[in-house]
Amino acid sequence: MPDPRTAPTIIDVARRAGVSKSVVSRTLSGSGGVAAGTQERVRLAAAELGYVANAMARGMVARRTHTIGAFVRDASNPYYGHLLTAMQERAAARGYRVVTATGSGSFAVSDERRALETLVGLQVEGLVVCSGLVPVADVLQHARRVPTVLAGRPARDEALSSVYCDEIHGGRGMADHLWSLGHRRIMVVTLRPERSLTQAPRTAEMARRLRELGADVVEAPDEETRAGGGIDGLVARLLADRAITAVMAPTDPYALEILEALDRRGLRAPDALSVTGYDGVAPLTTPLLGLTTWVQPLADLGTRAVDEVVSHVEGLTTDTRHQAINGQLISGRTAGPPRR
């Protein structure tokens, strides 16, 4: 493979081009003040050597890395993938690079803390944290030092900014949709804030709004489901209560699990039951599944998150703010008028 440790330094380039390292630095950074012919020679030498400037050495003295760090909880979830893509694109457009660190599969908080430190240690100039799970305290510790934005999750803290899809608006929108379809007894899968800072408020709002409208709400705390019976158990309970005509899941993957469990029993939505998801992320938005869900505008979210950090990094803004953006209903085929 490679001969170990032979990375050419700026001095190697300088020697090869027959100039001093200052000239090389100025040439490559384009700060001017170098004769055209000299530049030519320098560039040639650098290319021949395959020279790539050591970002660490550069960052040390320049005190700028032009890099923003993204922490992503679970890369295998397309939700974060789309968010990341949007961020990456915007950052590039504004002249920044993005390096990402992810939690390892075991969603241990200590892993996430480590990942955050990796990023900060790398001297990123800004931090975008994408996780509904990391305790805000861990984030705050770094936010003192680096402009930080929480993306995809609401926050109230003044020490950092956040950009998120309005969970109250979304939960309410989904609830209104089912109510207007005619459902009156509905199961809502709920989560506690410790499990997810996005799914908790949205499911709480679904339940609250339904009750406000006058519906019967059967709450199904996710922890109980995970602990005993699993999704199949949940569906069994669901079907046992003949008055329930719809079930609201906290996310699309969760809704998919429910649909699969129904399928295993030879049932399908919306005939047996209406089922709703949440997030609206490809590829689960395929018309073939026809999932009724709430779309989070991930591209917009990523763009705004980057804009927010960058404007802090560049000192254009000093105060933090919390932007909520609205999602939108996708009325699919998994939810219809009550059929049972």
Residues that bind DNA (CB under 7 A): 7, 9-11, 18-26, 28-29, 31, 33-35, 37-38, 51, 53-54, 57-58, 60-62
Window 68-97: residues binding a copy of itself (CB under 8 A): 74-78, 80-82, 84-86, 88-89, 92, 97
Q: Does 316 bind a copy of itself (CB under 8 A)?
A: no
Selection from DNA, a copy of itself, none that 61 binds (CB < 5 to 8 A by kind) is DNA
- Shortest CB 251 distance to a copy of itself, Å: 11
* CA distances for 306 relative to 90, 239, 289, 295, 313, angstroms: 7, 45, 32, 20, 10
Question: Distance between CA atoms of 223 and 195, rounded to whole angstroms?
Answer: 9
236 binds a copy of itself (CB under 8 A): no
Of the pair 33, 283, the CB lying nearest DNA is at 33
Under the binding rule (CB under 8 A), the answer on residue 160 touching a copy of itself is yes
For residues 124 and 91, what is the distance between their CA atoms, to the nearest angstrom?
Answer: 13
- Position 50 contacts a copy of itself (CB under 8 A): yes
Give 294's Cβ-side CA count (13 Å radius).
Answer: 27
Would you give the binding string for a copy of itself spanning residues 102-121, x where CB under 8 A is met?
xxxxx----x--xx-xxxxx
Which CB, 37 or 106, lies closer to a copy of itself?
106
Which residues does residue 221 pair with via DSSP β-bridges, in sequence order? 190
Contacts of 98 (CB under 8 A, 6+ apart): 67, 68, 69, 70, 84, 87, 88, 91, 92
Those residues whose C-beta lies under 8 Å from the C-beta of residue 190, and which sit 6 or more positions away, are: 200, 203, 204, 207, 219, 220, 221, 222, 250
Distance of CA 273 to the CA centre of its chain: 31
In this chain, which of 11, 35, 44, 99 binds a copy of itself, going by CB under 8 A? 99
Q: Would residue 32 be called left, alpha or beta, if left means φ above 0 and alpha means ψ between -120 and 50 degrees?
A: left
| Residue 196 touches a copy of itself, criterion: CB under 8 A | no
Binding track over 253-292 against a copy of itself, x by CB under 8 A: x--x--xx--x------------------xxx-xxxx---
- Residue 240 binds: one of a copy of itself, DNA, none (C-beta under 5 to 8 A by kind): none
Q: If binding is defined by CB under 8 A, does position 10 make contact with a copy of itself?
A: no
Residue 98's binding partner among DNA, a copy of itself, none (Cβ under 5 to 8 angstroms by kind) is a copy of itself
Nearest distance from residue 260's CB to DNA, in Å? 49
User: Is 57 among the residues that bind a copy of itself (CB under 8 A)?
Assistant: yes
For residues 181 and 183, what is the distance between their CA atoms, to the nearest angstrom? 6
To a copy of itself, the closest distance from the beta carbon of 151 in angstroms equals: 14
Residue 311 touches which of DNA, a copy of itself, none (Cβ within 5-8 Å per kind): none
- Is 100 near a copy of itself (CB under 8 A)? yes
CA distance 199 to 76: 18
Q: Which is closer to a copy of itself, CB of 116 or CB of 217? A: 116
- Within 13 Å and on the Cβ side, how many CA atoms surround 283? 2
SS3 257: helix
